[in-house]
Structure 1
Amino acid sequence: MGLDYVSCCPLGAHQAHADAVDFRRNAFGLSPAGFRMREEIPEGDSVQLTIDTKTDSYEQAIAAVQAAYGLNPAPVASNWPTAPMVEARPGPETLSSEDLWEGWTDRLLFDTVAAVMPGARAVLRRLVEVGGTATYDDIREHFIDHPQTPIPQGKIGGVLTSVRAVRRRIGPRNRADVLQLGDRVRVYRIEPALLEGLKRAFDLADARPDLLRQEPTSS
């Protein structure tokens, strides 16, 4: 609900009305839509304050009620603690669009990291951790009994099909891949120029796991 209603019995209805209006104008500059009072208030009747919780702060509401009772709202305004600043959450829009290599940018690297399946993401992260190059056997041994993302023997290639599938729709308009495989020696390799950008992509992935693709839920 956008509006809350507070009724109170003033010490003097007309004086309270004047105090509240004066408070709005001089102390807080509230528009009439913020705190509205009935124009005609018979002596002895209550005063109705309409508080818009979407636009009026808590301390403004308290101060207006004090004004309606003929009290000085200044202590509320001066002594109310300042609300802490809320730091904005980082997002992909904060990443650079500068060309790192063959059209790859920080943003495209993050989009790739976010879009691949968790197993493929874990392999990419491992390759970044070891400097961008590792043999098939190194990757297989690392993940076969991995506590978070185990990959059975012989399944590494299948897991990494997610990277190839994502590459068809994310990435620069050329044939440059994030992950390359040497067919003869079975070595996985990431272009060195992309390593720092991938580190930044994984930093954002750690800060915003809600943006990452997850394993499909089983029915």
Structure 2
Amino acid sequence: MRLTIDTETDTYEQAIGAVQAAYGMRPVIPADWPEAPAVDPRPDPQDLSSNDIGGGWSDQALFRMVASLMPGARAVLRRITALGGTASYDEVQQYFAGHPTNPIPPTKIGGTLTSVQAVQRRMGPAGSDRLLQRDERARLYHIDRVLVEGLKRVFAFADTRPDLLRS
């Protein structure tokens, strides 16, 4: 059973009435009680598309992957997505070296991103290409354009439901 009481809009009497109703007790409802506001249903990962957007990936599959990543890897993936899907190693290292909430030393970026491949092996579609590709010679990270668009949708969804992300 899930009981939600909004301490900013619900009165004490409404909260007690909700608890009593949850346990099958019949509360006496005062005549002057205002109706509780309708609660908007929270978005669910099932609300994301399950259609293939490329390489076996769907928005749901991308969300499962992003939700399973360590926070540092998720932050780096979000940054590369925000840059359009292509970023140089130096650009990513400099951005996170002085980042106020997710600082990652330049020598640790590669290690942080190893979890992307590990999680993809577990959570990603079978036989799919790497979500995050690395070009060692050009020192670039790259994500296919179609997956960048899917990741943008996934990160927007993740912002509404951070409780579903690995912490």
TM-score (norm 1): 0.63
For this pair of structures, how many residues does the alignment match? Answer: 147
Which has the larger helix fraction?
2
Equivalent residue, structure 1, for 2:5:
none
Which has the larger strand fraction?
1
Give the % identical residues: 52
Is 1:168 aligned with 2:121? yes
Of residues 21, 38, 58 in structure 2, which corresponds to 1:53?
A: 21
Is 1:84 aligned with 2:37? yes
1:95-174 correspondence to structure 2 within 5 Å = 95-174=48-127
Supply the distance in 2 between the matched residues of 1:206 and 1:198 (Cα, whole angstroms): 12
Query: Which structure is higher in RCO with an 8 Å CA cutoff and minimum separation 6?
Result: 2
Unaligned stretches of 5+ residues in structure 1: 1-51, 64-75, 215-219
Supply the distance in 1 between the matched residues of 2:157 and 2:126 (Cα, whole angstroms): 24
Closer/same/farther in 2, CA of residues 174 and 120 from structure 1, 3 Å limit: same
Structure 1 residue identity aligned to 2:117 = R
Closer/same/farther in 2, CA of residues 57 and 135 from structure 1, 3 Å limit: farther
Equivalent residue, structure 1, for 2:157:
204
Equivalent residue, structure 1, for 2:134:
181
Supply the distance in 1 between the matched residues of 2:74 and 2:65 (Cα, whole angstroms): 9
TM-score (norm 2): 0.81
Structure 1 residue identity aligned to 2:162 = P
Q: Tell me which structure has the larger Cα radius of gyration.
A: 1
